[in-house]
Amino acid sequence: MINDNTIAIFDEILRVTIKSYDQETNRSSLLLTKSDYLIKYITATFVFINAISAFLIANKVISSCVIVIGYIAIGTILCFSLYFAVDVQLFVRGNYFPTGMEIFRAIKNKYNADKIEKTPLDLRMDTIKYYSDYIDNLEKSNNKKAEMLNSAYKVYLIGVVCITLFFFIILILAERS
């Protein structure tokens, strides 16, 4: 027999499950926002590199060959970073939480009955299961996004270090000429 204490326990489990669901959807949104910002940083860096390279070539500060080689090397690194950042945006896999009608049809098909006679406890358990399945898939998707975003930021950091080194080389070569 189901008592009020059992239903209260399942209500608390459902409340915590919904909180976990909200946490994972917020995490997904945060990862996408961070990816958006990284794409903007990379774009701004490309604009900066293009402007500086054009200026250096136009003013013949150093050999055009050195500038082109540096531009290609830095551009390649930034393109890899951009690839990872955009891949985070595209990696939106996972099951979407089903609508009420989808849940109703699934329960109806599961019990193969026109009249669904389920206890409140059964309904709570089914709802918890639907949330849990979605949360598991969303968490896996978010973990993959986080890995790709970490890779994108690391590659971007390498690109920024290369830009700094490239400008030190330009300064050294410009002083020699």
| Residue-wise pLDDT tens digits, 146-161 | 999 999 999 999 999 9
**Other CB atoms closer than 10 Å to residue 85's CB: what's the count?**
25
Q: How confident is the model at residue 114 (pLDDT cuts 50, 70, 90)?
A: low
Given this model, what pLDDT does residue 122 score?
77
pLDDT for 131: 83
98 confidence band (pLDDT: 50, 70, 90): low
Between 151 and 129, the more confident residue is 151
- Mean pLDDT, range 75-90, rounded to an integer: 91
Query: Higher confidence at residue 1 or residue 130?
Result: 130
CB neighbour list of residue 57: distance below 8 Å, 6 or more residues apart: 64, 67
pLDDT at 138: 87
CA dist 13 → 76, 115, 131, 136 (Å):
49, 27, 11, 16
pLDDT band at 31 (very low <50, low <70, confident <90, very high): very high
| Average pLDDT of the residues of the chain | 84
What value does the mean pLDDT take over residues 128-144?
Answer: 87
- Indicate the range of 68-72, 76-80, 106-110, 166-170 predicted with least confidence: 106-110
- Cα first-last separation, the chain: 92
For residue 115, is pLDDT > 90?
no
* % of the chain surpassing 70 pLDDT: 82
